[in-house]
Amino acid sequence: MTSFQSFLFFIFIWVFLSRIESSTAICKTTSCGGSQSPPVRFPFRLKDSQPKSCGYPGFDLSCNNQSQTILTLPYSGDFVVEDIDYLGQSINIGDPNHCFPKRFLDNFNLSNSPFHFEVPENYTFFNCSSNATMMYLYWPIYCLSGDDYMVWFTTTLYTDISSPPTSCKMISTAVTGLLLPFSQSQLVQLTWDVSNCQRCAGSGGDCARENDSSLEVGCSYTPSNHNNGGLPRSVKYGVAIGVGIPGIVCIIGLACYLCGLVRVFSRRRHPSTELSISITPQRTMFATGLDGPTIESYPKTLLGESRRLPKPNDNTCPICLSEYQPKEELRTIPDCNHYFHANCVDEWLKMNATCPLCRNSPDGSVLVTPSSSASSSSSSSSISMV
């Protein structure tokens, strides 16, 4: 990788990380500032403080003068947001006037909104006299009751099991999704399915739309999303790979360059030795066998019945390893005085110009090169009797 390519690569990384930082800085988690205000992030957004790309259509929130977070449903009005579960994709809402059942009796409607009840239930509402004794599985609604009457509710399933007293009059039925009975907590739980950001939220990232006109959603990260104050693992891996691979390539290139310098330096330090070895030919010297006249010039000895030789231990031919017998001819190599069967040593000397025992070259042998030929001298042969 050239220096120019490396420069372009690092420019790309810098621009990429800058875009991540700038987008998440605009769409960072916010709230209405109240002690009970839930954090607001994608797919929700605060209309007055964040651009449209920070939220998904239908998830707009606002703040009232009491620092409460408000969700406005198209056909049902305003509700106070008590809690948002971004991983479970659910939101708990309450009535600003603390009487959610009245909102159901006023035809609560989720049309044209991205929300729905996770487990919808059919509830029936009854208006009973204040002295009516209600049965088990009926719950009173105090915000709808007066001094001389009491409003109760139950699920439609329970009305089929147990009927209310005859003094009670059914008011209405409604489909609801209660978190707890109205008498304990007037909260309703809604869920959503669009713009799934569970994985992004689980890893500490921020979802955001690519722009105001696009519904494509991406996940981005900032150091503030993580307790350790660093980039998320996926971004760290991306930066490590992007920086590590060019770094490894540069290290390998530098190592190859240094190896080349070492080789050149070594050649400069020993030029004469290598040149002499590669240019100056070596002349090979070797000995050839002896010719016939030279061999015949070596003394012969004819053994008698005693087989007596100058050296007591020379009674065996070193070539054929056979003991000498009477009437056999032996030949002696003059320089070293070693005895052999004449036939054995003659064949040896025709191929080798050295003594079979001591490997010394007799005076009659000639050291030759491939360009020269062997020369030999002849001398008269002598035969003695032993």
Closest CA to 313 of 298, 323, 303: 323
Tell me, what DSSP letter sits at residue 267? Answer: H
Domain presence at residue 33: yes
Same domain, 220 and 297: no
Tens digits of residue pLDDT in 260-308: 888 877 776 655 554 444 444 555 445 567 888 888 888 888 887 666 6
Please give the structure tokens belonging to residue 43.
Answer: 């797919």
Same domain, 98 and 188: yes
Tokens 């070492």 belong to 262
Residue 381 φ then ψ, to 5°: -90, 150
| CATH number for 323 | 3.30.40.10
Same domain, 216 and 291: no
Same domain, 82 and 204: yes
* pLDDT above 90 for 140: no
Q: Which domain holds residue 365?
A: 286-385
- 189, 91 Cβ separation under 8 angstroms: yes
Same domain, 187 and 312: no
* pLDDT above 50 for 19: no
**Mean pLDDT lowest for which of 17-26, 77-86, 279-288, 320-329?**
17-26
Tens digits of residue pLDDT in 350-363: 888 888 888 887 76
Q: How many domains does the chain have?
A: 2
Domain presence at residue 126: no
Record the pTM: 0.50
Same domain, 231 and 290: no
Same domain, 354 and 229: no
Closest CA to 115 of 28, 44, 23: 44
Domain presence at residue 259: no
Closest CA to 197 of 215, 223, 214, 219: 219
Which ranges constitute the DSSP H helices of 177-269? 198-202, 233-269
Identity of residue 242 = G
Domain presence at residue 141: no
Same domain, 91 and 231: yes
Contacts of 356 (CB under 8 A, 6+ apart): 318, 319, 338, 340, 345, 348
Domain presence at residue 305: yes
Same domain, 201 and 64: yes
Tokens 């722009």 belong to 211
Same domain, 214 and 297: no
Q: Single out the residue in 208, 235, 262 at which a domain terminates.
A: 235
- 362, 374 Cβ separation under 8 angstroms: no
